[in-house]
Amino acid sequence: MKLKTANSPLVTLQMVKDHPDVQVYIDKADEFLGNIGYTEHGRRHANYVAHNAGRILRELGYEEKSCELAAIAGYIHDIGNVVNRPSHPATGAYLAHQFLRELGMPLEDVLAVMGAIGSHDEDCCEPVNVVGAALIIADKSDVHRSRVRSPKEIRFDIHDRVNYAVRRAELKLDTNRRLISLELDIDRDISDMVEYFEIFTTRMVACRRAAKLLGCTFEVQVVQENGK
């Protein structure tokens, strides 16, 4: 596939999804993670993160190109898991470079996506740019029982138990107050807030740093629904 010219139209999320390699990367990465006991990291997670990363920047008034880059980074941020888990951010960034350039994305934009992907995970979770900040918040906010592969294992695995306890997770933006909030409905018969923060404190701190780069604050709100 030849590189397109610098005058080519904006590379979009749909163009990335249509690239013949991308879905294979995502599906195989999710398969490999499933084999070693991780929660779902497949197309559902990729679409969730892509949607919310783009939405965060769009609602905060960023230009459309930045919003699209955030959505793209969100969709492909976990492809490095096809190689191994510990180095998946850096590996994913390098893998993304090849097909983003094939699609004709300008190098400056490719580097913005690479930096975001390479800096999104807990061991190297730093918002290096606005694309990365949106990616971090969108990625770390995806906690929900639909990510649990085997509900039978929730008694034995705290990650599965905490995810399965979340009946609803909604990422909200109050643009007037510059506030990004993660609203959770947690079934406390399955897991309590102590376990949630045992697992997710590092991620929530990363979200606060990311929100700060966007000129916002970040908070977690826990609600109780259905009278529980």
Kindly state whether residue 155 falls inside one of the protein's structural domains.
Answer: yes
- Is residue 109 within 8 A of residue 70, CB to CB? The reply is no
Kindly state whether residue 170 falls inside one of the protein's structural domains.
Answer: yes
Please name which of 150, 167, 178 lies closest in space to residue 224, comparing C-alpha atoms: 167
Kindly state whether residue 3 falls inside one of the protein's structural domains.
Answer: no
Range of the domain at 162: 13-223
Total domain count for the chain?
1
Kindly state whether residue 73 falls inside one of the protein's structural domains.
Answer: yes
Kindly state whether residue 150 falls inside one of the protein's structural domains.
Answer: yes
Kindly state whether residue 149 falls inside one of the protein's structural domains.
Answer: yes
pLDDT digits (tens), the chain, 228 positions: 344 444 556 899 999 999 999 999 999 999 999 999 888 899 999 999 999 999 999 999 999 999 999 999 999 999 999 999 988 999 999 999 999 999 999 999 999 999 999 999 877 888 999 999 999 999 999 988 888 887 776 777 788 888 888 889 999 999 999 999 999 998 888 887 788 888 888 889 999 999 999 999 999 998 866 544
- Is residue 187 within 8 A of residue 224, CB to CB? The reply is no
- Is residue 73 within 8 A of residue 57, CB to CB? The reply is no
Model-level pTM? 0.90
Kindly state whether residue 187 falls inside one of the protein's structural domains.
Answer: yes
| CATH number for 160 | 1.10.3210
Kindly state whether residue 8 falls inside one of the protein's structural domains.
Answer: no
